[in-house]
Structure 1
């Protein structure tokens, strides 16, 4: 039987949301300390993996308790909510970007945000929006999650019954997709920036990890320095970090990087979730899980605020999408001053944390009312 939520999952989802917000604000100094600067993967992998983890925990419990039909209905209902949120979020984002563009004279924010399609062909853009084919910058993760969650309605009972078989099929599709050109169509004959045919593997791995974490296993008594898998994962994470850091100095990178390794690594595709990206995330996640086996550290104040954001990840993600162009506008109007860039980055996170706190307070406020009503 699946158990309740893990506070560590909420914390890392919240941390991923902070990193996504910082990464989406151009020239943001705090964007230099996000995950993408210490390895091949970034916050997107964290978000998708933990989305699969949390979804399987939540809906797997419903399936075991109430049966497949109820679980399927709840998954599809949540998918519909995400779809409606996507439509309204895009409308709000366009309004904010158009306003921001009117305030900034030195840049074309509409073009930078990928909204030119709406300006040149609004009727087709609205149709593409409804079909999830029109996805301006910042909007890509939500349509991906919509498709992955909808697919969970079919995969969940199989995943619970035979996890390894589902992971094997998912991996086969992941490996075949780039060579076969499998992806969903975008507007103007393009394809999705996050290819759901490949990113589904990470989502499935998250679900498999949730099921694996529920199994009782003997405690590992050997120290970490004597665990080969941990040492290999740590070594790969460190090597990826060094290579990523060397990208800041191309002349140094080109000098010491062997040609054979260069040909093996590049290009590192985010669209198709390149294997080196996937392995880096899995290695980093494994090292983190080994170094932080318990959840006691999540009880400090800062971790609780971050975890609360992760608990309401949809709402906080949407707020971060809307705050990013506003922060960019304020920074541009201030001449991209370093102090202002740091200020807007921190204020944005504070606003996201306040939303999480409000939603948590509102939930606790309404729970007694529901109990009385029943």
Structure 2
């Protein structure tokens, strides 16, 4: 029988900070974007979130598989995927209503076309099924379909891990290499594009599953030879230099180097940077660091424990902030100083509220069972 490991507070804090970073990065035009790690490297919070989600969900599935059997674990992950799919559709329609509302009732013209929502307006009988299968992806609608697909692939990959161990990684990594060599990509509908090519991005999720699976089976930390640590540091420094070049602070990089940082297809330098950064953080940040008990890290941990709901709320808040920047360009600096901290405070308050509401529900359920 596998034993559930103690909760790692680092994961909650990091996932919370990544949600804040995603909110800031989506508020296009904010000066606060210079304060997140995406401004200084060629990967961002998306890669880390996919990797950690694979680790957490892979651990949950593997533990339930060991305790209750494959059928129970499969039903559990299937229900989680179904809930996430419903959440994606809810966000899709609510986001569409917001965008169309701004287009109709504010001077902000062209947001429907710019965001890829025209197909929904002109041919909803085709656009809605396209959204349901994840192939119609207006702005900000690309990441949740990726997670739904990866969750559906999770049970089969865990079976491969159970049978073949780490050799099972040959399959997702082989598929990733094929996407880079042969430019494999699913078709996009409605004039949009696939923001996160699932054939490539699955490699982060599956690698996370493997990390969670091996930890549950009592494997120790990954080896840390000096040459591998040096390589990881070199990749992070290279990403920093490339980003300086993009900002105009360093000599311009050749086009082929910039192509290696492409996000849509998770290009090789971007993937290497994300994995190097994640590994170095796991090495350098102690599991029981005292600073994580302070107020701000605890607030980030609350966000991390409610990351899906906070992510969805953050999408709306960031889009509204960016829209207000465009509506009131003369007041942009003041709006930036007010709206970004206010948005972060709303995300923290929302996460705290969800935690309190969940605690009340748990106590009520316990009382009824007694």
Give the TM-score taking structure 1 as reference length: 0.90
Which stretch shifts more, 36-45 or 2-11? 2-11
Distance 1:347 1:190 in 2: 31
Please name the residue that 1:120 is paired with. Answer: 122
Deviation, structure 1 residue 137: 0.8
From the superposition, tell whether residues 219 and 148 of structure 1 become closer, same or farther in structure 2 (CA, over 3 Å): closer
From the superposition, tell whether residues 219 and 129 of structure 1 become closer, same or farther in structure 2 (CA, over 3 Å): closer
SS at match of 1:273: coil
Aligned residues: 364
Please name the residue that 2:229 is paired with. Answer: 230
- 2:112 matched to 1:110? yes
SS at match of 1:183: coil
8 A contact 2:127–2:190 mirrored in 1: no
Which stretch shifts more, 26-35 or 275-284? 26-35
Please name the residue that 1:277 is paired with. Answer: 270
Deviation, structure 1 residue 100: 2.3
8 A contact 1:139–1:321 mirrored in 2: no
8 A contact 1:183–1:191 mirrored in 2: no
Distance 2:6 2:68 in 1: 16
From the superposition, tell whether residues 370 and 164 of structure 1 become closer, same or farther in structure 2 (CA, over 3 Å): same
Residue pairs, 1:173-322, within 5 angstroms = 173-188=175-190, 192-214=194-216, 215=218, 217=220, 227-249=226-248, 252-254=250-252, 257=253, 263-264=256-257, 266-296=259-289, 297-322=291-316
Please name the residue that 2:138 is paired with. Answer: 136
Point out where structure 2 has 5 or more consecutive residues left out of the alignment: none
Please name the residue that 1:162 is paired with. Answer: 164
Q: CA offsets, 1:6-47, max 9 Å, x none?
A: 211111111111111111111011122222211111111011
Deviation, structure 1 residue 179: 3.0
SS at match of 2:195: coil
Which stretch shifts more, 141-150 or 160-169? 160-169
Alignment counterpart, residue 97 of structure 1, candidates 96, 99, 103: 99
8 A contact 1:4–1:57 mirrored in 2: no
8 A contact 2:47–2:204 mirrored in 1: yes
8 A contact 1:100–1:325 mirrored in 2: no
SS at match of 2:251: helix
Deviation, structure 1 residue 156: 1.9
Alignment counterpart, residue 328 of structure 1, candidates 306, 315, 322: 322
Distance 1:264 1:31 in 2: 23
Which stretch shifts more, 68-77 or 209-218? 209-218
Distance 2:180 2:99 in 1: 33
Distance 1:98 1:290 in 2: 46
Residue pairs, 1:139-154, within 5 angstroms = 139-154=141-156
Distance 1:325 1:219 in 2: 40
SS at match of 1:40: coil
Which stretch shifts more, 115-124 or 170-179? 115-124
Distance 2:257 2:126 in 1: 41
Give the TM-score taking structure 2 as reference length: 0.91
Please name the residue that 2:364 is paired with. Answer: 369
Distance 1:84 1:279 in 2: 33
Point out where structure 1 has 5 or more consecutive residues left out of the alignment: none
Please name the residue that 1:357 is paired with. Answer: 352
Q: CA offsets, 1:192-241, max 9 Å, x none?
A: 22111111111011112223444353899xxx9x9332222122212211
